[in-house]
Amino acid sequence: MHDKINGDGKTNIAARIRRAAVEKIEEFRRRRLDKQQNFRNSGTLIGRESEQNIYHNVRLREVIPHDEPFLFVDRIIEVESGKRAVGVKNVTINEAYFRGHFPRRPIMPGVLIIETMGQVGGFALLEGNPQFRGKLPFLVGVDKTRFRKPVLPGDRLRIEAEILACKRNLGRVKATAYVTGEVYAEAVLSFSIQDY
């Protein structure tokens, strides 16, 4: 890319700043891809993915009443009934929200990370409590939320949801989002379980 020259022959500062920003973004992406590849090659298990505790998209819909385009969990890979669930979201550049958030630097919106954590948390509550089957988990509170790093296209978001409390029609879940073993976001979510 060539620098633009203004009338007095000096380099356009804005063009240099843009070029530096693009180079930083490219370097950040290269480092993240290297880190992801190293994590995959390390042999670290993402989850105990046996057929009995994997809920693919279709089986997932039998428990939580979400559907495309608002079902963000690709699958549930671990379930400890009444205690916790672990779900996976493969973030791709084809997601519609990347067209506007942000066009030159796509980042998964924080509210959608919360929604993804809420879907895994809602699944943990519904799957672990037979009295909640066929009901709808309404997200009624989000506390202690922290976004530590941006989630980018190509990331595999691993959501761990641990049930903290479940009484009558209320549930509280601690959800943590990981990418390559690092915490990217966390929150305590409150649900009201209602008839569907």
Catalytic residue at 101?
yes
Bridge-based pairing state of the strands 156-167 and 84-90: antiparallel
3-state secondary structure the chain: CCCCECCCCCECHHHHHHHHHHHHHHHHHHHHHHHHHHHHHCCCCCCCCCHHHCECHHHHHHHCCCCCCCCCCCEEEEEECCCEEEEEEECCCCCHHHHCCCCCCCCCCHHHHHHHHHHHHHHHHHHHCHHHCCEEEEEEEEEEEEECCCCCCCCEEEEEEEEEEEECCEEEEEEEEEECCEEEEEEEEEEEEEEC
Could you tell me which of 186, 179, 97 has the C-alpha nearest to residue 146? 186
* 11 beta partners: 5
Q: Which residues are catalytic?
A: 101
